[in-house]
Structure 1
Amino acid sequence: MEPASTGGDAEGVARGTAVSMTPREREIADMAADGMTNEEIGARTRLAPRTVGTVLYRVLPRLGVTTRGALRPALDRLDAAATPARTGR
């Protein structure tokens, strides 16, 4: 039996996992990860707060997280997975 979710997946985006997001979805996810409310994001993007909420509702599961607090680490892991590792020669 697996433990119940505590609201955010500790790992979120697995390394090497491809997550598809539009530039607008990424923009909204970044703003939410920075602590902005749906209303603040909506004012900045000229979207209704409800639309912002809908976008986040679709994006969070793709990133493997269930809370805004887990967004920044998940986005950072996504960026790290997309950046090729440098070899020190």
Structure 2
Amino acid sequence: MSTDAATDAATDAATALAPMVEVWFRILTEHLPDPQDRCRACSGTTSTAWPCSLRSLAELARREHADGREAPATRGRRSLHGARGTSCAVTPKERQFLQMAAEGRDDDEIAAALDVPERTVRTTIHRIARKLGEPDRAGLLVLALRTGVVV
């Protein structure tokens, strides 16, 4: 690819991404979460030092990008593909665990909502991460969000 073609391709990509960058920047600046609201999605606890509110940001992004299309069906199994080429089918129940974790709920809240022991929550999320070769909960949640298994 010539230098001019590469420059044109980069310019086209930047032009295409600009509206999304503006939307995310506006969401982040206008809806900056309370600094005391600690992110629990990555660790399952309230002790992380990263101020964020994934639940709020995800909802704002959903509303911002809503274009009238229906979300994909959530019944049945969906495959999650890990970084090392591994994949596994995620059951609807497992997807519930992942969705609640991605929304920022800690293990106690997930356990109460699904009427299961807290240990079951930790074990289920850990097992899915291990099957996919993800080293930790944060990596699993990022993967699930990127692939659309959870929103």
For the superposition of Structure 1 and Structure 2, which TM-score range results when normalised by the shorter chain? 0.5 to 0.7
Contact 2:94 2:124 (8 Å CA) reproduced: yes
SS in 2 for 1:19: strand
**What CA distance in whole angstroms lies between the structure 2 residues aligned with 1:70 and 1:79?**
14
The partner residue of 1:25 within 75, 94, 105 is 94
Which structure has the larger Rg? 2
**Distance in 2 separating the partners of 1:79 and 1:30:** 10
- 1:1-89 equivalences in 2 (<5 Å): 13-14=82-83, 18-79=87-148
- The 1:47–1:54 alpha-carbon spacing in structure 2 relative to 1, beyond 3 Å, is same
Q: TM-score, normalised by structure 1?
A: 0.60
Deviation at 1:18, TM superposition (A): 4.2
Percentage of pairs with the same residue = 35
Structure 1: runs of 5+ lacking an equivalent: 1-11, 81-89
Q: Which residue of 1 aligns with 2:77?
A: none
Q: After the TM superposition, which segments of 4 or more aligned residues of structure 1 sit over 6 Å from their partners?
A: none
8 A contact 1:41–1:52 mirrored in 2: yes
Paired residue total: 69
- Are the equivalent residues in 2 in contact too, given 1:63–1:74 (CA < 8 A)? no
Higher relative contact order (CA 8 A, sep 6+): 1
Contact 1:33 1:72 in 2 (8 A): yes
1:34–1:62: structure 2 CA closer, same or farther, 3 Å change rule? farther
Alignment check: 8 A CA contact 1:29 1:59 kept? no
- Given the two structures, how large is their TM-score scaled by the length of structure 2? 0.38
